[in-house]
Chains A and B, each alone.
Chain A
Amino acid sequence: DTGVSQDPRHKITKRGQNVTFRCDPISEHNRLYWYRQTLGQGPEFLTYFQNEAQLEKSRLLSDRFSAERPKGSFSTLEIQRTEQGDSAMYLCASSSLSEGGDTQYFGPGTRLTVL
């Protein structure tokens, strides 16, 4: 168990550019979540997958955002036509049911800065 990994750790881009982030969950975890965290705030839910199926999307996830998990393993989060308001830490988590409850394990995050 190597933990949840995210790539890149930092991304600086210019407004209007597209960016893509990758998340590799803990192996055999079938649930994968994306959250966004802005400075001084707690993480906010964006979307989650069970295997390759995207089951829920937050209203925070505008049409410029798209997430995929094509083979039920790693996931990508793409932001098109980035805006300065997209600057945040993007966190990925994965989970597996244990002892009657769910525990999500978080990756280190990708910090996005839009200039």
Chain B
Amino acid sequence: AQSVTQPDIHITVSEGASLELRCNYSYGATPYLFWYVQSPGQGLQLLLKYFSGDTLVQGIKGFEAEFKRSQSSFNLRKPSVHWSDAAEYFCAAEKTSYDKVIFGPGTSLSVIP
């Protein structure tokens, strides 16, 4: 069955520290991959997406993600975290264009001053 896993339920980092959020997927072929962020009480905002090509993808708010086919992973990174980055982060995958998106369970990020 197709699935997306995020091993870390909750992560706490200090402001200014680097961040890496893990994501693994299980699909028959490489899906389209996404990272979304959700602030409390808000909808989902797209951070970045990978469809094909360069395996290092740049997104908004200083985030980037690296696709690794051998590890079935699509980890999200940011070199220096800001307090405003505290939110819930969802990795997601889509088998083909115009298909339903399957979301991981999310990783809650806390940022301490």
Q: Give A residues with C-beta under 8 Å from B.
A: 4, 31, 33, 35, 40-45, 48, 50, 56, 58, 91, 93, 95, 97, 99-109, 111
The count of residues in chain B whose C-beta lies closer than 8 Å to any C-beta of chain A is 26
Q: Give B residues with C-beta under 8 Å from A.
A: 4, 32, 34, 36, 41-46, 49, 51-52, 90, 92, 94, 97-106
A to B CB contacts below 8 Å, 15 in the list: A33-B101, A43-B101, A43-B103, A91-B43, A93-B101, A97-B97, A101-B51, A101-B52, A102-B94, A102-B99, A103-B34, A106-B44, A108-B42, A108-B43, A111-B41
Most interface-central of B45, B51, B98, B104 (chain A CB within 10 A): B98
Closest chain-A Cβ to B86's Cβ sits at a distance in Å of 16
Set B44, B100, B106: member contacting A56, Cβ < 8 A: B100
Are the C-beta atoms of A44 and B97 separated by less than 8 Å? no
Which secondary structure dominates chain A's binding surface? Answer: strand
Are the C-beta atoms of B43 and A103 separated by less than 8 Å? no
List residues of chain B with CB within 8 A of the CB of A111: 41
Are the C-beta atoms of A105 and B32 separated by less than 8 Å? no
List residues of chain B with CB within 8 A of the CB of A106: 36, 43-45
Set B49, B90, B97, B102: member contacting A45, Cβ < 8 A: B102
